[in-house]
Structure 1
Amino acid sequence: MSPDELHFLESHEWVGRDGDLAVVGISDFAVNQLTDLVYVDLPPVGSTVTRGETFGEVESVKAVSDLYSPVTGEVVEVNGGLEENMATLSEDPFGDGWLIKVRPTDEGTEGLMDAAAYREFCTTADQ
Structure 2
Amino acid sequence: MTEEYLEFSILSDRKYTRNSLWMQMVDKDDGTWKIGVADDLVQELGDILRVNMAVLPSDALADNAVSETEFDFGDVPDAFSEGDVLFSVRAAEDHETFLSPCAGKVVEVNNELEAQPESITNDTYSEGWVLLIKPHDFDEDQLLDADEYIEYLSGD
Shorter-chain TM-score tier: 0.7 to 0.9
Shift of 1:108: 2.1
Q: Is the Cα contact below 8 Å between 2:53 and 2:76 reproduced in 1?
A: no
| TM-score, with length taken from structure 2 | 0.71
Equivalent pairs: percent with the same residue?
A: 25
Distance 1:48 1:79 in 2: 17
Residue type of the partner of 1:12?
S
Shift of 1:61: 0.9
Distance 1:121 1:59, change over 3 A: same
Matched, 1:121 2:130: no
Distance 1:59 1:39 in 2: 5
Residue 10 of structure 1: aligned partner: 18
The answer to which structure, 1 or 2, has the higher relative contact order (CA under 8 A, 6+ apart) is 1
- The structure number with the bigger radius of gyration is 2
Which runs of no fewer than 5 residues in structure 2 stay unpaired? 1-9, 55-74
How many residue pairs align between the two structures? 124
Q: How big is each residue's C-alpha offset from its partner over 1:17-42, in whole Å with a ceiling of 9 and x where there is no partner?
A: 11121111111101001112111111
Shift of 1:83: 1.1
Residue type of the partner of 2:14?
L
Shift of 1:53: 3.2
RMSD, aligned CA: 2.0
| TM-score, with length taken from structure 1 | 0.86
SS of 1:4's partner is coil
